[in-house]
């Protein structure tokens, strides 16, 4: 009897809380409609299966509660609202190692599964309704699904949803609008109402940069979760990799935080922001990559480059090899295939391979492909990624600025960055000895998640948590590109034109636009001229059809 009352209390709590989540809409009333629709679909689905109304109420309440909690986890760890297609990522077993890396996520998943089990099994002994009620439930489900489909395909509803970007606080609406027929899972290129005329006119006034047949080797190094740690409160000394002379350097807007590296990979290789693909922004490697018309590797290949990607993960991870193929990468190499230290002899996820070992691995690549120069090598280091749980004690006096958990994580983060710095400097020294013109660019894909907030960063930019640095060293025959590092904010999507300008490679029509936008405004989403932003995006998507390849 006591257990029964506990179950009743739990069900009442879940029902009340789920109703609060559903009814507490702010942006659009459609958010409430979708929440109620989802609740009723879940309720009548369980009712048609079990014939038990209390079991159905409990099940629907719990699933709605769980969806809201998963959305909160997504916001905390990835700074991104939950979309239906994110479950394709979460359910891919190759991504489950995050449960080992983040014990708090593993605990949350365990709790969620336990709650769902309660939602499915509770009240299974209760009296069942007459069979005709269960048949009637099927009819109601059909009506609800029809209504749901009509709403998700309505232009009025779509526009209301788009107006919730970028905050996307309507949890249940986000899920409904990203699943099923008529949603973004069916690929369509972004469009901006053919408003490209403003940018097209401005494009004519931008002076071209110098072209030549120099053809330097180009190395693009993605450093996981990296931003100069001296920007954090606490007076940390600047690592050497961020000091000295550079051919170019800038702070950039990126479009992810704490994870989803592939979004920044997509951005730097294609010159396109993943956020333009709305519901597919987290799945650009799966759904968008096959439709990309232009990319940095493609134009380099047109100019005689051999393109190689060095990745510490297998090519099946987040569909990376297929995406790289779509972008124009000639060969996907895993460190184990080169016999690199720390790689073993099997192609597997190398989560703990050091940055120094990865740097030495690139040196082996140069030896292997020296007859194929000029080379474009795109590589990733993984050691800088969370979780930051290796430090045994707080160092660098960080406890004066942060709580114990934050200071311990930042200690670990900084120690790893110092090792990364040694790897970067060592690799640049190696490139100097190759007796061939070279460009060596390195950047952070996103910031690491250490439980910090924007007030902990000494950056004078809006939303500083989605800002990282982009740095370029090069041989003496490469000219400088001037930039105001302290005050000008760039965007990662414009960095391909930086590499092409430094390499003195003539751009095609897409990268000419990419270069022009950098010269006109310096960035895209942070540009103050909103009409220019829309016109630029229209030029690349509507006029050049940059993401409309069949």
Tell me: pLDDT of 516 over 70.
yes
Cα distance between residue 520 and residue 397, in whole Å: 43
Answer with the residue of higher pLDDT: 79 or 413: 413
Tell whether the torsion through CA atoms of 492, 496, 497 and 503 is positive or negative: positive
Q: Which segment of 278-292, 369-383, 426-440, 454-468 scores lowest on mean pLDDT?
A: 278-292
Gyration radius from the chain CA atoms: 26
What residues contact 135, with CB distance under 8 A and at least 6 apart? Answer: 48
- pLDDT at residue 24 in the model: 87
User: What's the whole-number mean pLDDT along residues 218-241?
Assistant: 98
Q: Residue 207 in 3-state DSSP?
A: coil
Percent of the chain surpassing pLDDT 70: 96
Strands 467-474 and 217-223 come out as: unpaired
- pLDDT at residue 169 in the model: 83
Instruction: State how far the alpha carbon of 366 is from the alpha carbons of 23, 355, 361, in Å.
Output: 59, 17, 9
User: What's the whole-number mean pLDDT along residues 416-444?
Assistant: 97
Q: Could you read off the pLDDT of 136-179 as tens digits, one per residue?
A: 999 999 999 999 999 998 888 887 887 776 567 889 999 998 88
pLDDT band for position 180 (cuts 50, 70, 90): low
Tell me: pLDDT of 1 over 60.
no
What residues contact 239, with CB distance under 8 A and at least 6 apart? Answer: 228, 229, 230, 417, 418, 420, 421
- pLDDT at residue 160 in the model: 86
pLDDT band for position 185 (cuts 50, 70, 90): very low
Q: Could you read off the pLDDT of 312-368 as tens digits, one per residue?
A: 999 988 889 999 999 999 999 999 999 999 999 898 889 889 999 999 999 999 989
Tell me: pLDDT of 182 over 60.
no
- pLDDT at residue 351 in the model: 86
User: What's the whole-number mean pLDDT along residues 505-523?
Assistant: 97
- For residue 166, say if its preceding peptide bond is cis, omega within 30 degrees of 0: yes
Q: What are phi and psi of 448, to 5 degrees?
A: -80, 150
Q: Could you read off the pLDDT of 402-411 as tens digits, one per residue?
A: 999 999 999 9
Instruction: State how far the alpha carbon of 340 is from the alpha carbons of 73, 350, 430, 544, in Å.
Output: 36, 11, 17, 42
Q: Which helix (H) or strand (E) element contains residue 57?
A: helix 53-78
Total residue length of the chain: 550
Cα distance between residue 381 and residue 358, in whole Å: 7
Tell me: pLDDT of 77 over 50.
yes
- pLDDT at residue 47 in the model: 94
The answer to whether 383 touches 354, Cβ cutoff 8 Å, is: yes
What residues contact 476, with CB distance under 8 A and at least 6 apart? Answer: none
Instruction: State how far the alpha carbon of 228 is from the alpha carbons of 43, 450, 467, in Å.
Output: 50, 14, 11
Q: Dihedral through CA 455, CA 447, CA 285, CA 359, nearest 10? A: 170
- Provide the phi-psi class of 475: left if phi over 0, else alpha when psi is between -120 and 50, else beta: beta
The answer to whether 414 touches 349, Cβ cutoff 8 Å, is: no
Q: Could you read off the pLDDT of 472-504 as tens digits, one per residue?
A: 999 999 999 988 887 899 999 999 999 999 999
Tell whether the torsion through CA atoms of 437, 384, 252 and 394 is positive or negative: negative
User: What's the whole-number mean pLDDT along residues 532-542?
Assistant: 98
Tell me: pLDDT of 286 over 90.
no
Q: Could you read off the pLDDT of 100-120 as tens digits, one per residue?
A: 667 788 888 899 999 999 999
Cα distance between residue 439 and residue 37, in whole Å: 55
- pLDDT at residue 4 in the model: 77
Structure tokens at 543: 């006029």
Cα distance between residue 20 and residue 11, in whole Å: 14
Q: Which segment of 4-13, 51-60, 225-234 scores lowest on mean pLDDT?
A: 4-13
Q: pTM, whole model, 2 decimals?
A: 0.77
Q: Could you read off the pLDDT of 2-55 as tens digits, one per residue?
A: 667 888 999 999 999 999 999 988 778 999 999 999 999 999 999 999 999 999
The answer to whether 439 touches 478, Cβ cutoff 8 Å, is: yes
Domains of the chain: 2-176 (no CATH), 200-543 (3.40.720.10)
pLDDT band for position 99 (cuts 50, 70, 90): low
Computed over every residue of the chain, the mean pLDDT equals: 92
């Amino acid at each position: 009897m006591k257990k029964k009352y506990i179950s009743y209390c739990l069900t009442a709590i879940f029902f009340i809380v789920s109703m609060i989540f559903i009814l507490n809409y702010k942006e659009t009333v459609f958010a409430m409609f979708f929440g109620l629709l989802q609740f009723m679909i879940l309720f009548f689905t369980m009712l048609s299966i079990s014939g038990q109304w209390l079991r159905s109420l409990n099940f629907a309440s719990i699933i709605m509660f769980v969806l809201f909690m998963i959305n909160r986890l997504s916001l905390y760890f990835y700074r991104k609202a939950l979309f239906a297609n994110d479950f394709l990522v979460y359910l891919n077993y190759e991504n489950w190692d995050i449960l080992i890396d983040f014990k708090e996520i593993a605990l949350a998943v365990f709790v969620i599964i336990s709650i769902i089990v309660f939602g499915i099994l509770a009240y299974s002994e209760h009296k069942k309704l007459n069979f005709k009620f269960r048949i009637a439930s099927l009819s109601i489900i059909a009506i609800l699904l029809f209504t749901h489909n009509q709403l998700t395909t309505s232009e009025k509803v779509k526009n209301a949803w788009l107006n919730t970007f970028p905050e996307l606080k309507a949890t249940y609406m986000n899920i409904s609008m990203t699943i099923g027929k008529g949603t973004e899972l069916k690929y369509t290129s972004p469009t901006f109402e053919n408003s490209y005329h403003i940018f097209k006119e401005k494009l004519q006034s931008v002076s071209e940069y110098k072209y030549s047949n120099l053809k330097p080797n180009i190395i693009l190094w993605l450093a996981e979760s990296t931003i100069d740690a001296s920007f954090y409160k606490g007076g940390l000394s600047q690592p050497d990799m961020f000091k000295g002379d550079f051919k170019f350097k800038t702070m950039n807007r990126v479009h992810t935080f704490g994870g989803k590296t592939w979004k920044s990979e997509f951005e730097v290789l294609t010159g396109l922001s993943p956020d333009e693909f709305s519901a597919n922004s987290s799945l650009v490697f799966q759904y968008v990559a096959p439709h990309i018309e232009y990319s940095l590797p493609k134009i380099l290949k047109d100019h005689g480059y051999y393109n190689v990607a060095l990745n510490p993960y297998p090519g099946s991870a987040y569909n990376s090899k297929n995406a790289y193929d779509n972008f124009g990468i000639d060969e996907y190499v895993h460190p184990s295939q080169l016999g690199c230290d720390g790689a073993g002899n099997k192609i597997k996820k190398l989560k703990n391979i050091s940055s120094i070992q990865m740097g030495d691995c690139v040196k082996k690549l140069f030896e292997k492909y020296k007859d194929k120069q000029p080379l474009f090598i795109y590589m990733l280091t993984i050691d800088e990624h969370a979780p930051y749980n290796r430090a045994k004690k707080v160092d660098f006096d960080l406890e004066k600025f942060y709580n114990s958990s934050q200071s311990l994580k930042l200690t670990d983060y900084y120690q790893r960055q110092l090792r990364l710095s040694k790897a970067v400097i060592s690799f640049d020294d190696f490139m100097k000895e190759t007796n061939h013109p070279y460009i060596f660019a390195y950047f952070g894909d996103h910031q690491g998640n250490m439980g910090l907030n924007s007030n902990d960063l000494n950056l004078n930019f809006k939303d500083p948590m989605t800002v990282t640095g982009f740095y370029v060293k090069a041989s003496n025959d490469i000219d400088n590109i001037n930039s105001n590092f302290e005050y000008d904010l760039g965007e990662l999507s414009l960095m391909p034109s930086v590499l092409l300008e430094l390499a003195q490679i003539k751009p095609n029509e897409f990268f000419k636009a990419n270069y022009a936008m950098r010269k006109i405004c310096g960035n895209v989403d942070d540009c103050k001229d909103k009409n220019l932003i829309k016109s630029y995006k229209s030029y690349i998507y509507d006029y050049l059809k940059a993401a409309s390849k069949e």
